[in-house]
Amino acid sequence: MTYSVKEIFFTLQGEGYHTARPAVFLRFAGCNLWTGLEADRATAICQFCDTDFVGTNGPGGGKFRSAESLAAAVAACWKDPPPDMLCLRQQIVRTAGPDEVHQPYVVCTGGEPLLQLDGPLIAALHAQGFEIAIETNGTLAAPPGIDWICVSPKAGAPLVQRSGNELKLVYPQPPFDPESFESLKFEHFFLQPMDGLNREANTAAAEEYCRHHPRWKVSLQTHKLLGIP
């Protein structure tokens, strides 16, 4: 299989349970809910995406003709987190243990990563010593072997992946009611305020909801607040 990759880069995870954890981001090209072209946004199933996943021209991006070559490219981006990065992490969240900080960690995202992430690539990334996370819209079933599954459901799209570690609902997202997801088999539930012109109002609404529904926590896009990739 040839893998189409928009970009590969080292940063801090910006969202959800692992906020501020050092990670390599492996962003696949392509999505099944939007072409990524602005001309098609108004007719897309997902109309609020804020990510460029079109093409293979980002840093570290390209066409990879084997799982091993892509895993090697991911491994080449990993580096032991420098002191300033660890200090930044400690300012944002709980202090991580040394095993978590130094365990190579890759976040497979997109677009929609499950269009391309398969068994051979999972095996190749594990062989490079990586813990593997995905951020998926949940419309496709995840193959076995992924270490951390984060599902972000989208209104108007089927939810096939109904279990995992983390459910992260962009909020508000009519007609979704967060309570309707609470019976699903996830360990953590997050509301992430929808970005855009109404970001402040959406953040206040998410905060208010979580105050009255303690199973949910607010997830902020801290990478945008900090100005990092």
Return the active site residues: 25, 31, 46, 49-51, 135, 223
Rg over alpha carbons for the chain, rounded to the nearest Å, is 17
CA separation for the pair 98, 106 (Å, rounded):
17
What SS3 string covers the chain?
CCEEEEEEEEEECCCCCCCCCEEEEEEECCCCCCCCCHHHHHHCCCCCCCCCCCCCCCCCCEEECCHHHHHHHHHHHCCCCCHHHHHHHHHHCCCCCHHHHHCCEEEEECCCHHHCCCHHHHHHHHHCCCEEEEEECCCCCCCCCCCEEEECCCCCCCCCCCEEEEEEEEECCCCCCHHHHCCCEEEEEEEEECCCCCHHHHHHHHHHHHHHCCCEEECCCHHHHHCCC
**With the C-alpha atoms ordered 136, 52, 57, 222, is the resulting torsion angle positive or negative?**
negative
